[in-house]
Amino acid sequence: MESLTPREREVLRCMVAGLGRKAVAERLYLSPHTVRTHMQNVLGKLGVHSTLAAVALARRAGVGPVDLTGDVVERGGQLA
């Protein structure tokens, strides 16, 4: 997880929340193409081949989803 850029971490947290590419793009004010690039970079850096595998790895590492208010939820209810 340390190799991810701050933006890639944001995208990963959106992925953990179950958001699709279009929803992530709207939430982060990016184009869907840019989100796709970030998602591909996340998969490559984590060494996985699917969004599901990236999300599972993130959850095991304690990465929580972005909630509906835009706050990032970490394991144990702490905000990051």
Provide the domain count of the chain.
1
- pLDDT value at residue 80: 42
- pLDDT value at residue 69: 63
pTM exceeds 0.85 for this model: no
CATH number at residue 38: 1.10.10.10
The verdict on residue 45 lying in a domain is yes
The verdict on residue 73 lying in a domain is no
The verdict on residue 10 lying in a domain is yes
The verdict on residue 33 lying in a domain is yes
The verdict on residue 80 lying in a domain is no
Enclosing domain of residue 16: 6-68
Number of Cβ within a 10 Å radius of residue 17: 18
Does the pLDDT of residue 79 top 70, yes or no?
no
The verdict on residue 79 lying in a domain is no
